[in-house]
Structure 1
Amino acid sequence: MKRMASVNRFIQFNNETIDTKLLHGMEMLAGALADAPYLKVTTRKLVEFRPSESTLSISVFWRHRAPHIERLGYKSDIYLMAAGFWRDFDVPAWRTFISSNSPLPELKQQLLLCAEEFRLSEKIKKARPGTAEAFKVREETYAGYHKDRYKGNRQKGFAVDAFLNAAYLRLRSIDVVDTEEWEPLFFMWSRMFDAQSTADSAEVVGAMMDRLEYLFEADLVHGYYTFGEAVEKNQPFRYHEGIEPEQSDDEEKIDTIEEWFQSWHRESEASESAAMEFELEQGGSGYAEGGREEYGSGEVEHTAKGDSRGEHKEDNETDDRQMASSSKKAGTKFGNANNRVAYTESRIRIAAGQRGQIEEWRRKQAPYVKSLLRELKKRMMQKQQSLRTNLNAGRLSKDLLPLVIEDRPKPFYRKSAPSKELDAVFCLLIDGSASMIDKLDETKQAVLLFHDVLRGLGVPHEIVLFYEDAYEASDDRQPNYFEWMHKMEDGTLDHADAIASMEAHEDNRDGFAIRWMSDRLRSRQEKHRFLLVFSDGEPSAYNYAENGVVDTADAVAEAKKQNIEVLHLFLSNGTISDEQAAFYRMMYGNKSVSADSLEHFVDQTLRLLKRTLHLIIQSV
């Protein structure tokens, strides 16, 4: 299930956080250089290509270095992949090269990638002089790395690894000791200075391999280069009832990495479009008597959780609660990290026997709610101004006689300001993951406070629980659920029973939920639009670990561009560390606040609401 906040991970060396702004910048740079806006960037041990995920992976080699070295190092990775390998690496030549058998396959492949890195780096620097600084940092840092590894590999007897280290250094004109036996090989290696293509590099490495296979019995022990996914790996066809795969006798010819990625991207979009077209044209729309669809899988049956047989009988909720919502496909609308998500929207199922607990919570919160409402309404009344005359500035009065008969006339006046309602809308997203199970009571009380204050002010608001079904999630489909406790169109209806019916489920896909709610807020006409996220840990869902942090930060940035203010309240049952606070600021900026104990969660919610509403009143 969801990983708890990073402070709880006691293995420090595995406690890595991601600079989401830096990674987002690398993604923008890669998309611009490759002219491929669909590209994603993530971090892995080595630089590699992953077309099935539309991803370029930059190396964690640059972590824990001086900030300017880290930044330029990551840039050099992007330059090498998106401006070098992307269009100038010959895929057929690579496939031909690796298809021939060798007793040293790892050395063979990594030596060619080492050669191509050198060739393409030199080509990029000539074509784009602005990249020279990044490549200078890259070569200096890697030269130091290979020097150290060369010494260590020599001492440990890893001769093949030492040879690769020395080969890297020789291309940068750096000599190393104890290489006399390899000098004939390095003489052939020097032909790389004249290489103009992947085929040329392959010819140089191929000529060296006969002697290398004679000198060395064992292959490389460590990995210094990797290509990523195999070029032969094809996009799997996703079968849907009523759709047949297209038959083709001729395999699409792929000459460059750009074409390889485009092929995956096109097929992925085509597969999604075909599936959606079938579901729209052929999918059943009938519903069983109990509220579930007559046709559908187990996932759709799970959506019957939104069917209500509780105590609420408001007319405007009947349709929502008597029929489970059908699953919708996210596609590319909600970010690349969520393109396999299928989401279901429904009203939360009301649990019986909650009334006594609700009355107790409201009895405790009543003084705070009444005090806040009284204060806010007073401030709103103070914004009203009565008619004032005889002013030095303002609107010119129709009675201009004072201009003639008075030495210091004051012929201006100000109109009374009409009373205004708060021009705002609030949406509250509540993390419904498993780790919330020990915090549910405090969360329900905080949400009830939120609900009662906004109802008292007549402010439209929405309250939604979000989660992912971890047990049903797969590579092809990640089912997510949104359960409404209160909808904007419900006005001031009391939905305390729905709030008290919240339950903890499995995982949380925060970036997707923020985009989903932002999409709903975008159509609202209110001047002030707020999206509050209540969560107790970092995003965690299927294939949503490291990229989940980046996806959430991107979703927050996108919401801000749409004039939606995203606020985050972190709920913890322990003291908040500086590390945790910094982690959430990385995703939410300075709009993330923390409750350092369960007892303070309601207080922090009240403080957050109070501060936000005061700002709205001041702007009226």
Structure 2
Amino acid sequence: MTSFNRFIKFNNEQVDAKKLLSYELLARALSSATYLKVTQRKLMEFRPSEGAISFSFFWKHRSEEIERAGQKTDIYLLAAGFWRDFDIASYQRLLQTVVLHPLRNLAIQIGVLFEEFRLMEQVIKERPGTSELFTIRTDVMVHHHREQFFENSRKGFVADALLNYIYISVHKGTMFSSSLEGPDFFSILVKPIERIYDQRDTKSNMSLATLIAELAEEWIERDLVHTYYSLGDELSKDESFHYHAGVKDADIGDEEQKDTIEEIFRTWHRENQTEKGVHLNFELENGQSGRGGTDARQGHEDTDITEIGLGRSEGKQKPKRGIPEREGDRVDFSKKDGSIFGENHAYVVYEEKRIDYTKDEQKAGLLEKWRLAQEPHVRAFVKELRRRIDLKRGSRRDHLSIGRLSSNILPLVTEERPRPFYRKQAPSKNLDAVFGLLVDGSASMTDKLEETKMAVLLFHDILRRLEIRHEIVLFYEDAFEATATMQPNTFEWVHKLEDGVKDSGHAILSVNAHEDNRDGFAIRWMVERLKNQQEKHKFLLVFSDGEPSAFGYDQNGILDTAEAVIQAEKAGISVLHLFLNTVAPSEEQKELFRMIYGAKSAASDTVEDFSDQTLRILRKMLTLVVQSH
């Protein structure tokens, strides 16, 4: 299964997409940085070049209450504490001061420990509701450092034991820590440690950390063995931000040391945005922009690729958008930039085209065979739905002051204010709904392709019979052509919304398996197709046989797909998922799809069950539409 991009590569645990998304929203709200991403690593970290902050893996495998409190307080400390109130210049001066000190790591980590305490107090003061969470955090961390104190003392790791002692002293008081049996010189450091309660900024905390390290140098010969704090390698490097060679002098701006983590992140984000986009890669390899001459123009990340070179195209035509145009044997598609669908797709280029198919006797015979087998199901389904519509149409509202006169006119005589009128419900002939069906076109679909086509054909025939507009699209990524700076994706229309009740049976039979699947990207693309449609009810079905898998998408595909589903629901589009497989899904697979799609995910235990599950999903959705009329 897809795992976190964490410090231990073999720790292959499942991503809790919903929880991670909630933490990401919290971090963005606290920091006012809409681009900020949240991941999990060994220690709390800042990674400006990735636009990400990381909460600690320390909290995993504990009770749900402790895990939630620990992870959320990590987010509060990172996004509401260190984000704006940690002085980078003072931290960098500490790094320079202790660069040759024998207890360099001890000094640095004591400084961060002091800052964590100061910022924790500040967050609690500004947000009293976090007090309970930080209390849980402190109790767990004190217990952990107490255990580590005895273990480090036993092994002779004096510097580590001192850091454990300092943590306990700071959070529980020196009276509590004095009960620990440590080296005699620890008591000499009590007075300097107690000064932490008077510190009000990063500079004073860094100075205090340096003082303690210098005092401890007389008794400690070996620096820290373990790492307890890490703000991230990018914040520990004493160097200015480097701009790429193409940036103009006017765009560089102020080269002075950034004061806060927020400023560093915003600088990285701004410069990374200018360097992203497939237009840059294309201009270097194939593009015409900037080749010289008076008509040269500057590239932009939203600029479409201007030269495709497919089939017999010579790449000399002006860029075209939309559906491919056919002229004889020449096919020229207009590829588009996928970065508009999120940072995870910054290097995606995609094309939209009709699926290629031919009509022959063999396909016609197979199509007739499948439809004969499915006809009883289609007829029964349509008949049941029509009956429900008729019942709805036949229902009426009585006791109205205007409308049709009821056959019961007795109230005209017996009641002071008679209401002898009624009205019939008059729903529209066609159901007010539109459907989009995304079909996974990855290579893993090969062994279940025929059954998938049958399920898609059933879906298509029922909606045609009910005159409901729908769209069927095969999506896939070209794994063989994908690189770090270019990931080609394709959407093949099997049936378009504009086709109405056109029979696309032969196109369905032409569906083939390709390479990879970028599910979150496909969902976002289909949402754009559906959200502006006039129908009241909008549904998006996803037929797939596994988790998202594409170039550079293994680490964040689950999270991106879950986020795409949430955004679709916010846009008024109900997303449903059907897991297609030749065997019953495992509990791990079921949990994965619950994380992505919530309760709107169904699974088929056998290939023969694909069509039955499709019928069940359609029945559920269309029943809701009928009831709403």
**In percent, how many aligned pairs have the same letter?**
46
1:37-76: CA deviation from partner (whole Å, max 9, x where unpaired): 2222222221111222222211122223232322222221
2:577 to 568, 571, 589: 568
Structure 1 equivalent of residue 228 of structure 2: 224
Give the SS at the match of 2:162.
helix
- Asked whether 1:521 is paired with 2:535, we answer no
1:3-52: CA deviation from partner (whole Å, max 9, x where unpaired): 5899xxxx9x9453344333333222222222222222222221111222
149-158 vs 25-34, greater mean Cα deviation: 149-158
In the TM superposition, residue 440 of structure 1 has moved relative to its aligned partner by: 2.0
Report 1 or 2 for greater relative contact order, CA contacts < 8 Å, sequence distance ≥ 6.
1
Structure 1 equivalent of residue 433 of structure 2: 424
Change (3 A) 1:411 1:126: closer
Measure the CA separation in 2 of the matches of 1:274 and 1:477: 7
1:449 to 440, 445, 458: 458
Unaligned runs of 5+ in 2: 281-297
CA contact under 8 A between 2:541 and 2:578: conserved in structure 1?
yes
In the TM superposition, residue 526 of structure 1 has moved relative to its aligned partner by: 0.3
2:51 to 49, 54, 58: 54
In the TM superposition, residue 279 of structure 1 has moved relative to its aligned partner by: 5.8
AA partner of residue 251 (structure 1): E
2:211 to 207, 214, 218: 207
Structure 2 equivalent of residue 434 of structure 1: 443
Unaligned runs of 5+ in 1: 308-316
376-385 vs 394-403, greater mean Cα deviation: 394-403
Structure 2 equivalent of residue 312 of structure 1: none
AA partner of residue 35 (structure 2): Y
Measure the CA separation in 2 of the matches of 1:195 and 1:439: 66
Measure the CA separation in 2 of the matches of 1:112 and 1:325: 58
Change (3 A) 1:144 1:506: farther
In the TM superposition, residue 197 of structure 1 has moved relative to its aligned partner by: 2.0
CA contact under 8 A between 2:277 and 2:347: conserved in structure 1?
no
Change (3 A) 1:281 1:93: closer
In the TM superposition, residue 202 of structure 1 has moved relative to its aligned partner by: 1.8
AA partner of residue 114 (structure 1): L
- Asked whether 1:597 is paired with 2:603, we answer no
In the TM superposition, residue 461 of structure 1 has moved relative to its aligned partner by: 0.9
AA partner of residue 56 (structure 1): I
Give the SS at the match of 1:596.
coil
Structure 1 equivalent of residue 264 of structure 2: 260
In the TM superposition, residue 234 of structure 1 has moved relative to its aligned partner by: 7.4
93-102 vs 255-264, greater mean Cα deviation: 93-102
Structure 2 equivalent of residue 78 of structure 1: 75
Change (3 A) 1:143 1:492: same
In the TM superposition, residue 426 of structure 1 has moved relative to its aligned partner by: 0.5
CA contact under 8 A between 2:3 and 2:15: conserved in structure 1?
no
Measure the CA separation in 2 of the matches of 1:330 and 1:532: 21
Equivalent residue runs for 1:371-386 within 5 Å:
371-385=380-394
- Asked whether 1:42 is paired with 2:39, we answer yes
1:421-467: CA deviation from partner (whole Å, max 9, x where unpaired): 11111001122333323222222221121112212222111112223
Aligned length: 592
Equivalent residue runs for 1:250-399 within 5 Å:
251-272=255-276, 275=279, 278=299, 285=306, 290=311, 292=313, 294=315, 323-331=331-339, 333-350=340-357, 355=363, 356-385=365-394, 392-393=399-400, 395-396=402-403
In the TM superposition, residue 401 of structure 1 has moved relative to its aligned partner by: 14
Give the SS at the match of 1:230.
helix
Give the SS at the match of 1:82.
helix
Change (3 A) 1:61 1:420: same
1:316-347: CA deviation from partner (whole Å, max 9, x where unpaired): x858996443332233x434443443333222
Structure 2 equivalent of residue 310 of structure 1: none
RMSD: 3.9
CA contact under 8 A between 1:394 and 1:414: conserved in structure 2?
no
Give the SS at the match of 1:507.
coil
1:582 to 591, 615, 626: 591
In the TM superposition, residue 569 of structure 1 has moved relative to its aligned partner by: 1.0
AA partner of residue 608 (structure 2): E
Structure 1 equivalent of residue 248 of structure 2: 246
AA partner of residue 624 (structure 2): L
- Asked whether 1:549 is paired with 2:574, we answer no
Measure the CA separation in 2 of the matches of 1:186 and 1:293: 78
AA partner of residue 271 (structure 2): E
1:585-616: CA deviation from partner (whole Å, max 9, x where unpaired): 22212211111222212211121112222222
Measure the CA separation in 1 of the matches of 2:383 and 2:409: 43
Give the SS at the match of 2:585.
coil
In the TM superposition, residue 88 of structure 1 has moved relative to its aligned partner by: 1.1
Give the SS at the match of 1:344.
strand
1:288-332: CA deviation from partner (whole Å, max 9, x where unpaired): 683656179xxx9xx99x97xxxxxxxxx858996443332233x
In the TM superposition, residue 267 of structure 1 has moved relative to its aligned partner by: 1.9
Measure the CA separation in 1 of the matches of 2:457 and 2:408: 60
579-588 vs 320-329, greater mean Cα deviation: 320-329
AA partner of residue 220 (structure 1): L
TM-score normalised according to structure 2 size: 0.82
Change (3 A) 1:324 1:410: same
AA partner of residue 370 (structure 1): R
AA partner of residue 247 (structure 2): P
Give the SS at the match of 2:341.
coil
In the TM superposition, residue 251 of structure 1 has moved relative to its aligned partner by: 2.1
CA contact under 8 A between 2:46 and 2:54: conserved in structure 1?
yes
Give the SS at the match of 1:196.
coil
CA contact under 8 A between 1:5 and 1:580: conserved in structure 2?
no
